[in-house]
Chain A
Amino acid sequence: MTLASLVFAFFCIITIIVYFIVPKKIQWFVLLIASLFFLFYNNFSWQTVCQASIILLTSYFIGRKLEKYQNTKKAKWFLLLGCLIIIGLLGYLKYTNFFLNTIKHFLSLFHISFKFKKVTRTTLVGLSYYSLIMISYLVDIYRGKNKSEKNIFKLALFMSYFPILSSGPFVRFSEMKENLFKKHKLNYKALCNGLIRILWGVFKILVISERLAMFVNTVYSDINQFNGFYLILAALMFTLQLYTNFSGSIDIIMGVSEIIGIPLPENFTAPFFSRSITELWRNWHITLGAWLKDYIFYPLLKSDFMQKINTISKKKLGKKIGKKVPLYLSMLIMWLCIGIWHGGAYTYVIGSGLLQFIYIFFEDNLASLANKVYQKLHIKTDTFSFKLYQIIRTYLLFSFSMIFFRAPSVKTALKIIQGMFVFNPWILLDNKSLFTAGLDLLDFRVLIISLIALFIVEYLSTKGKVREKLAQQNIVFRWSILYLLIFAIIIFGCYGVGYDPATFIYEQF
């Protein structure tokens, strides 16, 4: 079930109506039924039921044991067992091919041939999300941050809460449990705010993202014909396509959950106003970053192994440089994890992992040198023009890494980069070449106007909550904006023939 679809809208309306008319005591149970329906909507089979059950039962029983044996050695073993089962299952279901492929490449270095058949396994929507969410549930009990849930059905709801299944955000049990099982009354303000957010999300997906996708898909489907500036434009557009698709879906999810009465943590805060890649990642997929920091990066950095490396590197390289060694090593491991989490392919490992690490590494190490150069050349760094330069530079670097993310293979990605060097800027000017790649003049006009609207809203969001500002305006203005959004979606939304709107990019993860 895709988020920007009538089926999902219908599903949400029914769920919300039933949720608010049943006795308040069983409201959470309605959410559980709806969530299970959503979870198994596409793939209901004994295998998928088994997958979900293994993760749920593991989390439930290990969680109980962790609480019982807290602060003992046994707890450590139970935690390890729980994490191994969940990660093992995730690996088995999603990464078998990636794993075998890596072995194959490794063995080929020694001229040993290794053949394997690609396996395809049916997985449930959101597997990568709820696996990590349940790991954080277990680790938090181990760390004494929250108690284990005694009611397995309540835990099942936490695991499968439908709004977060398809694209996050990552939530923690401690921040969800109160609202998830609380009795809720329909709140008019939350309903209005939620609806606006949903509409804005649908607008982002159907009007902007899907339109960008038409161009990007056309160019990427034939990179020999569409080279040079077509490829450059497609790379720049894909970053925006990914963002509007992903953040639009998050808007829909947050809106639905807000109406139900369960606020979710923000996942994006205007990432394209970031002046460095480091800053961009603080504003992009925020909850994934926080998850990795709490459950991989910090524990890794604090581990005995890294501390040993710390001692050795400080001795060999001096204190200042030495202490950076374990830091970068932990960072590298974390970024590789991010890459692998995005999918079992080298394109993700490079695009959303390795390249990001390299950017951040250089940003961190060249900062003081760059400052010295700016001072020598008398370049003012607190001016609008300099900030704009930094924003554009960040966008270009990020778009470059996303070429790998989008391309079907590393080979193709390299070919695309090579193809960008064909010099053909006239395609932008000759009034027809540009329109051969999936979008006509009207599409481009709609796109430019919508992107300006997006840019303005994003800018305003950095200054405060846009919806609250909107609520302060006169009723005529508020309704005009609302109608404008609705009509823009109806008239300018991209619904191809026999085409399911917005097969959500992040859903595959």
Chain B
Amino acid sequence: MTKEEIYERLNHVFQDIFDDESITVNADTTADDIEDWDSLEHINLIVAIEQEFNMKFNMNEVTSMKNVGEMVDIILSRTK
């Protein structure tokens, strides 16, 4: 899977979780950029991403990711 494909699929997950069709994410997107992205919604997002890509984040990654770029790197390393 390429990074572009991952971003493409992530956009759908984000749009679904935050109920906002206009969301598109990039490597620098953080919780500050999306209004409803608080620590609780973060967990829902993580679970949805896990289901979408059929992989698991460990708890350390869940709490330490800084932006979508780091998220994509982890997904990429798991789905290789």
Q: Which residues of A are interface residues toward B (Cβ below 8 A)?
A: 139-140, 143-145, 293-294, 298-299, 301-302, 307, 310, 319-320, 323, 327
Contact = CB atoms under 8 A, between A and B. Distances in A.
B60 A145 contact: yes
B43 interface: yes
Contacts of A299: 59
A296 to B, nearest CB: 11
A269 B62 CA distance: 26
7 contacts: A143-B60, A144-B60, A293-B39, A298-B59, A298-B62, A302-B59, A310-B47
Contacts, number: 30
A302 B61 CA distance: 13
Given A144-B58, A145-B60, A302 B46 contact: yes
Interface string B40-52: 1001101100000
In this complex, the member of B19, B58, B59, B63 whose beta carbon has the largest number of chain A beta carbons within 10 angstroms is B59
Nearest to B56: A302
Given A143-B58, A143-B59, A144-B58, A298 B44 contact: no
B22 to A, nearest CB: 18
B63 A302 contact: no
Nearest to A144: B60
A196 B33 CA distance: 41
A294 B43 contact: no
B63 A298 contact: yes
A143 B61 CA distance: 9
B60 to A, nearest CB: 4
A323 B43 CA distance: 11
Given A302-B46, A302-B47, A307-B47, A327 B60 contact: no
Interface residues of B, number: 12
Given A301-B43, A307-B47, A310-B47, 5 more contacts: A139-B59, A143-B58, A143-B59, A302-B46, A320-B19
Contact of B59 (A294, A310, A319, A320): A294
Contacts of A319: 19
Contacts of A307: 47
A75 to B, nearest CB: 11
Interface in B6-26: 19
B contacts with A: majority SS: helix
Nearest to A324: B40
A170 to B, nearest CB: 15
A302 B43 contact: yes
Contacts of B59: 139, 143, 294, 298-299, 302
A311 to B, nearest CB: 10
Nearest to B42: A298
B43 A298 contact: yes
A303 B79 CA distance: 21
Contact of A294 (B19, B46, B63): B63
B65 to A, nearest CB: 13
A147 B29 CA distance: 31
Contact of A302 (B19, B39, B62): B62
Which interface residue of A139, A293, A302, A319 has the most chain B CB atoms within 10 A?
A302
Contacts of A310: 44, 47
Nearest to A143: B60
Contact of B44 (A143, A144, A293, A323): A323
A301 B62 CA distance: 12
Contacts of B63: 294, 298
Nearest to A295: B59
A294 B62 CA distance: 10
Nearest to A331: B40
A320 B46 CA distance: 17
A145 B62 CA distance: 12
Interface in B61-75: 62-63
Contacts of B47: 302, 307, 310
Contacts of B60: 140, 143-145
A139 B60 CA distance: 10
B46 to A, nearest CB: 7
A294 B19 CA distance: 27
A293 B39 CA distance: 10
A144 B74 CA distance: 15
B40 A327 contact: yes
Contacts of A302: 43, 46-47, 59, 62
Contacts of A293: 39
A257 B60 CA distance: 28
Contacts of B62: 298, 302
Contacts of A301: 40, 43
Contacts of B19: 319-320
Could you say which of B19, B39, B60, B62 has the most chain A C-beta atoms within 10 Å of its C-beta? Answer: B60
Q: Closest 6 CB pairs between A and B?
A: A143-B60, A301-B43, A145-B60, A143-B59, A143-B58, A302-B43
